[in-house]
Structure formats: C-alpha cells, structure tokens
Amino acid sequence: MNTTHYISSEVLELATVHAIITEQKQLQLSEDAKERIITCCAYLDEKLKVETKPIYGINTGFGSLYNVKISKENLTKLQENLVMSHACGTGDQVPQEIVKLMLLLKIQSLNYGHSGSQLATVERLIDFYNHDILPVIYTQGSLGASGDLAPLAHLSLPLIGKGKVNYKGAVLPAEDVLKQFNWSPIQLQSKEGLALLNGTQFMSAYGIHLLLKSFKLSYLADLIGSVSIDAFDGRIEPFNELVHLVRPHNGQLKTASRVREFLEGSELITQEKQHVQDPYSFRCIPQVHGATKDTLNFVLKTFKTEINSVTDNPNIFSKDDEIISGGNFHGQPLALALDYLKIAMAELGNISERRVFQLVSGLRGLPAFLVNNPGLNSGLMIPQYTAASIVSANKQLATPASVDSIVSSNGQEDHVSMGANAATQAHTLIHNVERILAIELLNASQALAFRAPLKSSVFIEQFIKAYRVDVPFIEEDEVLHDDIQASIEFIQQLNIDIKELLD
C-alpha cells in the first residue's frame, strides 16, 4: 500500500480523498508543485521591486481599506495583522476530521502556483497535516463570500506561532507545539495572508466530509428500506426494471436495482400477498431515494470542481505577467450545492420515518408497536416520536441559507453566499438522518423477527445477524435510548466499499 499522497495538479477525486483519510496517508509535494509555487512566489517578489501602483491585498489594505497603500517595509506586518485581526471565530470547535480536510484542501489549492505563497508556508501546512497538528477552528464567523475568512484565519494562526492546536488529545498553544518540533514561526511574505485566508476550504471540507457520509447513508437507506419492505410484507413489483426504464432517472434505476439485489432469494418477498399496493414510503423508494442519489451526484460535481480550483484573491498568472483581483473566493456555488444536499438528505429521513410509522401501526399481522403483550409493554411506540421530532428539526435546518445575504466590510462586500451556515446546518442535518435510519433499522429488524419462520434474503439475514450482536431482539420494555445509540454506532462502524457507494 502506498502510504504517501503526492500533492500535484492531477484531479483530486472523492475516492482519492477517501483513500487519503482511511489509509492515513502522508502528504508530500510533487516536484512540479514545488516548481509552480517557487516560480509564482519569485515572480511576485520581482514584481514588487519595480511596481509602483497599488496591488490589492499585496501592498494595500483589505476590504474597504483597499485604497490604503502600504510601504514595502511593512508588508510582512500587513500579512500577519490580517491573520490576527480576522481570527474572530466563535461557537463550537470544528470537528478535527474536518480541520484535517481543510489543511489538505488548502494545500491542494496553493499547489497550483497562482497564490504567491512561499514554499516554506505550504510545507509547514503539510507538516501540520502529517503530524496531526490540527488548528483550533470555530464553526461561526464566515459569510462564505470573501472566502471563509475567520475559519481560515484560525487555520493559519499556528503558522506564525499564534492560536491553539489540537495535538495528541490536548488543546495546546501553537507556540509550544512549534517548539517541540524546533520549528520557527513562518515569516509571512507579500500576499500570503490573503493566499491563506481567501478561499473556500471551510465550506469545501464540510462538503467533502458530508458527501462521503451521505453516499454511505444513501446506500444504507436502500438496505434498511429493503429490510422494512420484507418486514412489512411488501411487494417487489414496484422495483421491476420495466417500471423504471420508462422513467429512466439514473438514481431511480440504481435504487430499484439495488433493492432487487438486496431482496433476491427472500421467502417473504415471494409469498402470496393479501394487498394489491403498498404505501408510498415503500412503493416509491426508487423515486425518492433515487432523486437523492441524483442530487448527490450533482453536489459531487460542484465540490470536485471546487477542490481542484484556486479560490484565493488576487490571482497571480506569472506566465501572462498578470495579477488580477477577482472573486473566486465567493462561495455561491457551494452554498447552493450545500442547500440542495440538505434538502435531498432530509427527504431520506422523511420517508424513513414514514416507514417506521407504518411498521408500528399494527398492520399486516404485526403486533402494535412491535412487541409482545402490547399494553403492558409500550414497545417501539416512542422511537417513532423521536424520529418524527428529528424529521421536523431537519425541515427547519433544510431551509436554504443561500437565499440570505448581508452587507459587510463597509459596503465593499455587499453580497455574500452564507455557504458556511449551509455547511454547518448540513452537518447537523446529515447526522440527524443517520439517527433516523438507525431508528428504522431498530424497528425493521424487530418487525422482521415476527415473520419467522419465513426468512428474508441471505444478504439481509446476515446483515441482521451482525446487527443482533449489538442490538438484541426486544422482548419487553427496556431503556430504548441504549438500543438507539447502539444502532447508530452499528451504522457508523459499517465499512462499505467506496466503489459501491459511488457506482
């Protein structure tokens, strides 16, 4: 197994990011990347020796202070002041796995050689990544427009020996950790503060992290939904390929095919039915789950473009002898994609809760609330309440953040994306979907046991057997929080081939 990932101009795929994370690969700059970084930085240094006119963010102030010229002797101080003054995030700490992704994606963006950063700066970011020195970053503070300014300022503080980092399970002053490695603080050069702070790596890291989780939950929604179909004595006809070939949305076709595979060989699905149709939450799984799959692929396309892009400002084009101030830091594409992701994933939770409701309703020969002696036992009555509560919370979280904007920087930054808010909302929402699916699995597995001696497919029976190691059949009332939590952890620990998820 290759334990090193070389940062280069090659397209960074979602599967590659997954491999870097799960295989704990170390990062290293390719020789081409080093050359691009050095060339760009040298060009900028030479340009400043002869240039007399102001260049935004390089020898001027920032934001609405763009017209304030800064003397050459103060350029390093200018960049350091930028990092410190913008490090004003608040709220909860960003999860460490997302901080690590932020480091990876910032390094990737700087490697293209259009940002003007020093080689030493990029290599120190790589050192942080490889040694799990993870800057303390906060969830609140970014408008998702001039880049993720506040979060990226906190990401950058340790480079200059300031701020705090998570290291070996403790939050420590960055200065102390630098001393442990005998590293001197980086002396930021012209443009480096903006190269570090202008960018979309907060939104992008959340997006990539959540896409990986969402593809897994999409797969599990199909699998757990299939368990529910057999547990509810559902029909297989709505999953016939002929139905979906006449409305051939890719996700719909994939979902129907996957459910047919999961249920292949089931005794329950082939037994004679007393009912002609199933409720929509069962019958329309291909249409609903499939639409989410199509959305995930759209969101993936957006984020794949973003993580292989230069998103700081101004952009330096040494071959063309141009330094251009533009707006690649604006997070609108990501804000829209994250909002779409929220809506699509909320629907997986929405339809899952409806299946739970049907399973506990005492229909089709199942006992009310899926327990022996209902009345004395409340059984699985209240987990459906919990699922319903979470579904309603998700409806609120799914409200688009991107339709909002607010004026900042004294009117210079007069339209913002709010993509960072969309990212943190999506994080909460998608973890909520995981909880809803765990509750469906708890109910579906319980209901399936009442169908004995008939069995589901070999695949589903093996899946439930593995689940039963952590969550036994519920004979009578007990503290159901523990069963729900064990179900969540069971889902989290499942390892599913990334190729199967992205197929």
**Does a cis peptide bond (omega within 30 degrees of 0) precede residue 314?**
yes
For the chain, the maximum distance between any two Cα atoms, rounded to a whole number of angstroms, is: 87
CA–CA dist 349, 357 (Å, integer): 12
Q: Which residue has the tokens 């390089």?
A: 58
- Residue 218, class by beta-carbon neighbours within 10 Å (0-12 exposed, 13-18 middle, 19+ buried)? buried
Q: How many CB atoms lie within 10 A of CB 403?
A: 10
In this structure, the strands spanning 90-93 and 26-29 are: unpaired
Nearest residue to 109 via CA among 309, 347, 403: 309
CA–CA dist 348, 460 (Å, integer): 20
For residue 100, what are its two tokens? Answer: 């690590």
Contact present, 423 and 206 (Cβ < 8 Å): yes
Nearest residue to 438 via CA among 397, 391, 485: 485
CA–CA dist 4, 440 (Å, integer): 40
Q: How many CB atoms lie within 10 A of CB 305?
A: 13
For residue 173, what are its two tokens? Answer: 């002053």
**56 a catalytic residue:** yes
- Residue 463, class by beta-carbon neighbours within 10 Å (0-12 exposed, 13-18 middle, 19+ buried)? buried
CA–CA dist 290, 249 (Å, integer): 8
- Catalytic residue (one of 43, 56, 167, 206): 56
* Residues assigned a catalytic role: 56
